[in-house]
Amino acid sequence: MAESFGTDPARYDRTRPRYPAGLIARIAGEAGGDVLDVGTGTGIVARQLRAAGCRVLGLDVDARMAAYARGHGLDVEVAPFEEWDAAGRSFDTVVAGQTWHWIDPAAGPAKAAGVLRPGGALAVFWNVSQPAPDVAEALASAYRDALPGAPLNPWSRTALNGYSAIVDKTAAGIRAAGAFGEPEEWRYGWECAYTRDEWLDQLPTGGGMAVLSPAQRTALLDATAAAVDGLGGSFTMGYTALAITARLSG
């Protein structure tokens, strides 16, 4: 699943949602300076932080994603974060957008503490979809029609509740590192309008699509297209940008 994200970096970069300006401004304002972007992917977070005045080094395990980000003027190195050699460099902030759940929950915070300057901060965050009830039911119904008997329908439950385990594990890992103050949780709500074609364009970038057969993917795309048509051909997706942050102690 993790390796699937680099199969089409241009699509990923074109369709994946950005992060709300308030969250980016807060990260840049409270820490900013030199930033290490863990799991930078195509550089979505890195470009937003760079525009906010930060100096950003990207890090990713996928050379295909890194190459795409470099094509947009970013400095990116390829390595797993837990094994990466910082070569004596240090940073004011370590961030991770939509990627920290791929990092070892114990080794990740310890590694971040080791590359942060005194008073530096760790900020990890996710865009969590929050569809309106009619949108959620339409997408859930499409999923049921296309994949009958599938064990997990991502639209049949509240996504924020689904992220509670990730949040708890992230906060526990930060506490266990023994190097940070008490983690804080930030939330920023925002919305994005999608046409049918725009939604179908981004759907294959989800990791869950990688475990489906070609026939299943086609069925899901067709059912989803019909569902969005039933909503009038477009809809607005609500998102909550959910962040866990902690500042280095001492």
Q: Where do the domains of the chain lie?
A: 2-131+157-193+238-247
With 60 as the cut, is the pLDDT of residue 4 above it? no
Structure token digits, residue 234: 């477009």
Question: Looking at per-residue confidence, does 7 or 42 come out higher?
Answer: 42
- Give start and end residues of each alpha helix (H) in 54-126: 63-70, 107-115
| Residue-averaged pLDDT of the chain | 93
pLDDT tier, 184 (very low <50, low <70, confident <90, very high otherwise): very high
- Cβ contacts of residue 55 below 8 Å, gap of 6+? 33, 34, 35
Q: What's the pLDDT score for residue 212?
A: 83
User: 192 to each of 97, 104, 138, 218, how far by Cα in Å?
Assistant: 18, 31, 17, 25
Segment 2-12 mean pLDDT: 73
Phi-psi region for residue 66, left (φ > 0), alpha (ψ -120 to 50) or beta?
alpha
Beta bridge partners of 76: 58
With 90 as the cut, is the pLDDT of residue 1 above it? no
CA atoms of 119 and 246, how far apart (whole Å):
10
With 60 as the cut, is the pLDDT of residue 118 above it? yes
CA atoms of 156 and 147, how far apart (whole Å):
13
CA atoms of 246 and 116, how far apart (whole Å):
12
| pLDDT > 90: percent of the chain | 83
What letter would DSSP give residue 77? E
Whole-model pTM: value is 0.93
Q: Among candidates 218, 248, 224, 15, which has minimal Cα distance to 112?
A: 248
Segment 117-127 mean pLDDT: 96
With 90 as the cut, is the pLDDT of residue 5 above it? no
Segment 137-161 mean pLDDT: 86
Q: What's the pLDDT score for residue 3?
A: 62
Segment 210-224 mean pLDDT: 92
Among 3.30.1340.10, 3.40.50.2030, 3.40.50.720, 3.40.50.150, name the CATH number for the domain at 2-131+157-193+238-247.
Answer: 3.40.50.150
